[in-house]
């Protein structure tokens, strides 16, 4: 019974501050205990992942609130950060210009490799990204 109480206290601390070491110190348990519980108990693993996610959401909300406060105070760095991250009009861009035409037409395989590289570099207009794939793709360099 005491073990369940400690686990619940740990999870509650993790929801407040999503750092395992800090939550352990607040409850007075070792990281080894937490990771042992996590490895032995799939339900605890799921609860721990949820608590970490909830904690990260809380910190994100607090950070966004602070950022908005800084914007209200006319802090240029905060304003610039917000616009670059939230407005397509102000996003950083990469422009590539060339004055020499390609020496030869690319093969269809080469075009596929270039298209995949652009997707991975987030320079493609398509929505599919590397994160949507389960495993990295092997690109042929032949």
pLDDT in tens, 2-23: 888 999 999 999 999 999 999 9
80 falls within a domain: yes
Could you read off the pLDDT of 115-132 as tens digits, one per residue? 888 888 865 444 444 444
pTM over 0.75: no
Place of tokens 């005491």: 2
- Find out whether 32 and 22 touch, Cβ atoms under 8 Å: no
pLDDT, tens digit (0-9, with 9 covering 90-100), for 55-77: 999 999 999 999 999 999 999 99
Phi-psi region of 96 (alpha: psi -120 to 50; beta: other; left: phi over 0): beta
Contact 9, 27 (CB under 8 A): yes
- For residue 14, is it within any domain? yes
Count the domains in the chain: 2
Residue 68 lies in a domain: yes
Same-domain check for residues 11 and 44? yes
Q: Give residue 113's domain range.
A: 104-142
Tokens of 109: 């395989």
Residue 63 lies in a domain: yes
Do 36 and 64 sit in the same domain of this protein?
yes
Residues 113, 85 within the same domain: no
CB 139 within 8 A of CB 116: yes
Residue 52 lies in a domain: yes
């Amino acid at each position: 019974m005491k073990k369940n109480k400690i686990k619940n206290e740990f999870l509650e601390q993790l929801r407040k501050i999503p750092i395992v070491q800090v939550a352990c110190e607040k409850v007075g348990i070792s990281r080894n205990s937490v990771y042992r519980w996590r490895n032995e108990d799939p339900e605890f693993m799921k609860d721990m992942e949820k608590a970490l996610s909830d904690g990260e959401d809380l910190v994100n909300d607090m950070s966004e609130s602070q950022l908005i406060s800084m914007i209200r105070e006319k802090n240029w760095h905060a304003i610039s950060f917000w616009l670059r991250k939230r407005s397509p009009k102000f996003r950083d861009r990469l422009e590539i210009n060339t004055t020499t035409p390609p020496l030869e037409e690319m093969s269809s395989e080469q075009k596929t490799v270039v298209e995949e590289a652009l997707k991975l570099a987030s320079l493609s207009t398509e929505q599919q990204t590397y994160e949507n794939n389960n495993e990295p793709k092997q690109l042929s360099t032949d």
